[in-house]
């Protein structure tokens, strides 16, 4: 690096001696040129770190106008898979540091305490009552895969269900709890097991239990190292979905090397870029174009520290 710096100084001195007063041209890229780098599936693996930071800042930044209105309901991302799923800015803003990830379970909102008869509709849970979610049901996977992972979110807390279809056995991985923290959670767990059993049956598979026992499905808690804060449960659940190997759960325990907190914080930046730059995102080009317009601070010894993270709270929203 010193040799390169010395060479650069000599070139600048030489230019000055020749009377050249023109500044070196800085190569700039337009949003379209940047977007072109991500046209192939391999491009998604070449996202530079500064681009991830820009994407994170743009996606999680809430603006407020003179009347106090925010842009939290702005459509940010349209994911196309088996159906269409729209993410608004409020969803991405929940990826800000020290924030709970925004989510809502339609079934649990209709059966808030795990009641099998909804106080709202006065009816039992039926998959057909949620037509907007049916396009996302993968019948083949639900009836063929030996293990099913199912994230659950209720009252701002996330946990993960692991269903062994072969043994008809259910387990819970909770980043915060090693057992059900209340009788209400026990009821919610029974109802959740019933919902998953109904989903599998709807897809053409065998229920987890038959008859009246379908409403008495039990799930044991796996002892596993989890979150160190009150707000990282969703980050743990999402990463567990990628990493957990069910075969390694032995005697109700899962041994693994937990992440340091700074690594957990970094996952929020990674998830924002993966969502917005996804091949499934119809608005990906817009995300790349508008993210690239953000200017980051010049690198310094502080900003280059692995313990420092730029987020939307560091950006003025005027």
Looking at residue 171, its pLDDT comes to: 96
State mean pLDDT over 257-267: 91
Number of domains in the chain: 1
Return d(Cα 165, Cα 208) in angstroms, integer: 8
Phi, psi for residue 224 in degrees, rounded to 5: -150, 145
Write the pLDDT tens digit of every residue in 48-85: 888 888 888 888 888 888 888 888 999 989 988 777 88
| Residues 295/53, Cβ–Cβ less than 8 Å | no
302 is a domain residue: no
Q: What is the pLDDT of residues 194-244, one digit of tens each?
A: 999 999 999 999 999 999 999 999 999 999 999 999 999 999 999 999 999
**CATH code assigned at 278:** 3.30.310.130
Output the average pLDDT for the chain. 82
pLDDT tens-digit readout, 131-141: 888 888 889 99
Q: How confident is the model at residue 25 (pLDDT cuts 50, 70, 90)?
A: very low
Domain range holding 137? 49-62+90-286
- pLDDT exceeding 70 applies to what percent of the chain? 78
C-beta separation of 92 from 272 below 8 A:
yes
pLDDT at 8: 60
Nearest to 170 by CA among 208, 123, 206: 208
Tell me, yes or no, whether 200 lies in a domain.
yes
Q: Tell me, what's the pLDDT at 40?
A: 47
Is 311's pLDDT higher than 90?
no
Q: Answer for the pair 152, 233: CB distance below 8 angstroms, yes or no.
A: no
Structural domain includes residue 70: no
Q: How far apart are CA 129 and CA 134, in angstroms?
A: 9
HEC-encoded secondary structure of 127-184: HHHCCCCHHHCCHHHHHHCCEEEEEEEECCEEEEEEEECCCCEEEEECCCCCCCCCHH
In a domain, 38, yes or no: no
Instruction: For residue 147, tell me if it sits in a domain.
Output: yes
Asked whether residue 34 is domain-assigned, the answer is no
pTM score: 0.76
Structural domain contains residue 309: no
Q: Is the pLDDT of residue 284 over 50?
A: yes
For residues 268-288, average pLDDT: 89
**278 belongs to a structural domain:** yes
Instruction: State the Cα–Cα distance between residues 292 and 159, nearest whole angstrom.
Output: 35
Q: What is the pLDDT of residue 246?
A: 92
How many whole angstroms separate alpha carbon 38 and alpha carbon 285?
9
């Amino acid at each position: 690096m010193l040799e390169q710096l010395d060479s650069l100084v000599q070139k600048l001195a030489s230019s000055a001696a020749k009377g050249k007063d023109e500044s070196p041209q800085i190569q700039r890229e337009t949003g379209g040129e940047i977007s072109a780098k991500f046209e192939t599936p391999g491009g998604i693996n070449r996202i530079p770190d500064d681009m991830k930071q820009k994407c994170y800042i743009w996606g999680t930044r809430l603006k407020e106008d003179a009347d106090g209105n925010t842009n939290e309901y702005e459509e940010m991302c349209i994911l196309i898979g088996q159906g269409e799923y729209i993410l608004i800015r409020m969803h991405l803003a929940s990826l800000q540091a020290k924030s709970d990830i925004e989510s809502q379970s339609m079934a649990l909102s209709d059966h808030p305490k795990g009641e099998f008869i909804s106080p709202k509709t006065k009816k039992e849970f039926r998959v057909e009552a949620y037509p907007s979610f049916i396009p996302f049901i993968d019948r083949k996977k639900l009836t063929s895969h030996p293990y099913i992972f199912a994230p659950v979110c209720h009252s701002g807390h996330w946990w993960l269900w692991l269903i062994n279809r072969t043994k008809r056995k259910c387990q819970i991985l909770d980043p915060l709890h090693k057992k059900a923290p209340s009788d209400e959670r026990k009821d919610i767990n029974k109802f959740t097991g019933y919902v998953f059993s109904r989903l599998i049956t709807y897809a053409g598979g065998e229920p987890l239990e038959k008859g009246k026992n379908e409403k008495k499905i039990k799930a044991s808690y796996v002892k596993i190292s989890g979150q160190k804060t009150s707000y990282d449960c969703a980050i743990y659940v999402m990463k567990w979905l990628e990493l957990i190997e069910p075969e390694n759960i032995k005697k109700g325990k899962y041994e693994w090397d937990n992440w340091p907190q700074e690594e957990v914080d970094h996952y929020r930046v990674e998830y924002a870029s993966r969502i917005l730059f996804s091949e499934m995102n119809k608005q990906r080009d817009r995300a790349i174009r508008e993210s690239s317009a953000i200017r980051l601070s010049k690198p310094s010894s502080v900003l280059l520290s692995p313990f420092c993270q730029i987020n939307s709270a560091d950006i003025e929203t005027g």
